[in-house]
Amino acid sequence: MAFSFISPLVAHNDPEKRTESATGRPSASRKFLITGLFVYILVISSLTGVLYNQLQKHLGHWHSTATAIISGLPEIEIKPLRVEWTEKVIQGPLYHMGWYHLFYQYNPTSAIWGNITWAHSVSKDLINWFQLPLAMVPDHWYDIKGVMTGSATILPDGRIMMFYTGNARDLSQLQCLAFAVNASDPLLIDWIKYKGNPILGPPPGVGRKDFRDPSSLWIGPDGKYRMVMGSKHNNTIGCALIYHTTNFTHYELLDEVLHSVPGTGMWECVDLYPVSTKNSNGLDMLNRDESGVKYVLKQSGDEDRHDWYAIGTYDIVKDKWYPDDPEMDVGIGLRYDYGKFYASKTFFDPSKKRRILWGYVGETDPQKNDLKKGWANMMNVPRTVTLDPNTQSNLIQWPVEETETLRSEKYDEFKDVELGPGSLVPLHIGLASELDISASFEVDEALLSGTFEADVLFNCTTSQGSAMRGVLGPFGIVVLADASLSEQTPVYFYIAKNTDGTSRTYFCADESRSSKLLDVGKMIYGSTVPVLHGENYNMRLLVDHSIIESFAQGGRTVITSRVYPTKAIYNEAKVFLFNNGTGITVKASLKIWKMGTAKMDPFPF
**C-alpha distances in angstroms, 288 versus 253, 311, 335, 435, 455?**
24, 17, 27, 41, 46
- In this predicted structure, which of 37-51, 95-109, 174-188, 488-502 has the lowest mean pLDDT? 37-51
Instruction: Please report which confidence band the pLDDT of residue 25 belongs to, taking 50, 70 and 90 as the band edges.
Output: low
Return the H-helix or E-strand segment holding 70. helix 54-71
What lies within 8 Å, CB to CB, of 426 at 6+ separation is 574, 575, 576
- In this predicted structure, which of 197-206, 376-385, 400-409, 452-461 has the lowest mean pLDDT? 452-461
**C-alpha distances in angstroms, 51 versus 38, 56, 343, 360, 540?**
10, 10, 15, 11, 28
Set out the domains of the chain in order of their start, with CATH numbers: 89-399 (2.115.10.20), 408-596 (2.60.120.560)
**C-alpha distances in angstroms, 229 versus 18, 232, 254, 303, 483?**
24, 10, 12, 17, 50
Summarised one tens digit per residue, pLDDT across range 134-152 is: 999 999 999 999 999 999 9
Q: Residue 164: how many CA atoms within 13 Å on its side-chain side? A: 37
- In this predicted structure, which of 450-454, 469-473, 499-503 has the lowest mean pLDDT? 450-454
**What's the gap between Cα 315 and its chain centre?**
27
pLDDT at 320: 98
Strands (E), 325-463: 334-335, 342-349, 354-361, 378-379, 383-387, 395-399, 407-419, 423-427, 434-443
- Burial readout 477-488 (b: 16 or more C-beta within 10 A, e: otherwise): bbbbbbeebebb
Write the single-letter amino acid at 498.
Answer: N
pLDDT at 26: 63
**Gyration radius of the chain's alpha carbons:** 24
Read out DSSP for 160-182? EEEEEEEE-TT--EEEEEEEES-
Q: How many helices, marked H, and strands, marked E, lie in the chain?
A: 3, 37
Q: How far apart are CA 489 and CA 138, in angstroms?
A: 41
Residue whose C-alpha is closest to residue 271's, from 330, 324, 224, 199: 330
Check whether 328 has a pLDDT greater than 90: yes
CA dihedral sign of residues 193, 197, 202, 208: positive
Check whether 443 has a pLDDT greater than 90: yes
Mean pLDDT of 364-381: 92
Q: How far apart are CA 554 and CA 397, in angstroms?
A: 8
Under DSSP, the state recorded for 122 is E
What lies within 8 Å, CB to CB, of 37 at 6+ separation is 5, 7, 47, 48, 49, 50, 51, 104, 105, 343, 360, 377, 379
Which is more confidently placed, 360 or 393?
Answer: 393
Q: How far apart are CA 56 and CA 42, in angstroms?
A: 21
pLDDT at 396: 98
pLDDT averaged over the chain? 86
Summarised one tens digit per residue, pLDDT across range 244-280 is: 999 999 999 999 999 999 999 999 999 999 999 999 9
pLDDT at 291: 84
Return the H-helix or E-strand segment holding 583. none
SS3 328: helix
Residue 499 burial by Cβ neighbours in a 10 Å radius (0-12, 13-18, 19+): exposed
Summarised one tens digit per residue, pLDDT across range 47-87 is: 323 333 333 333 333 322 222 222 233 344 433 333 332 33
pLDDT at 31: 45
SS3 133: strand
What lies within 8 Å, CB to CB, of 80 at 6+ separation is 246, 247
**What's the gap between Cα 602 and its chain centre?**
24
**What's the gap between Cα 418 and its chain centre?**
36
pLDDT at 602: 96
Q: How far apart are CA 123 and CA 130, in angstroms?
A: 6
Mean pLDDT of 176-205: 97
Cβ(227)–Cβ(243) under 8 Å?
yes
Using a pLDDT cut of 90, give the percent of the chain over it.
Answer: 78
Please, which residues bridge with residue 542 across strands?
Answer: 436, 549
- CA dihedral angle for residue 254, residue 256, residue 262, residue 266, rounded to 10 degrees: 0
Under DSSP, the state recorded for 535 is P
Instruction: Please report which confidence band the pLDDT of residue 500 belongs to, taking 50, 70 and 90 as the band edges.
Output: confident
Mean pLDDT of 579-605: 95
SS3 584: coil
What lies within 8 Å, CB to CB, of 258 at 6+ separation is 228, 239, 240, 241, 242, 272, 297, 319, 320, 321
Strands (E), 107-146: 117-123, 129-136
Mean pLDDT of 121-145: 97
- In this predicted structure, which of 88-97, 124-133, 288-297 has the lowest mean pLDDT? 88-97
Summarised one tens digit per residue, pLDDT across range 555-574 is: 999 999 999 999 999 999 99
SS3 397: strand
pLDDT at 499: 83
pLDDT at 353: 95
Q: How far apart are CA 484 and CA 533, in angstroms?
A: 38
Cβ(126)–Cβ(115) under 8 Å?
no
Q: What angle do CA 115, 116, 119 make, to 5 degrees?
A: 125
Summarised one tens digit per residue, pLDDT across range 211-224 is: 999 999 999 999 99
**What's the gap between Cα 80 and its chain centre?**
35
* Terminal alpha carbon distance of the chain: 21
Q: Residue 498: how many CA atoms within 13 Å on its side-chain side? A: 6
Q: How far apart are CA 203 and CA 186, in angstroms?
A: 37
In 75-194, where does DSSP find H-type helix? Answer: none
Summarised one tens digit per residue, pLDDT across range 166-182 is: 999 999 999 999 999 99
Under DSSP, the state recorded for 406 is G
Instruction: Please report which confidence band the pLDDT of residue 27 belongs to, taking 50, 70 and 90 as the band edges.
Output: low
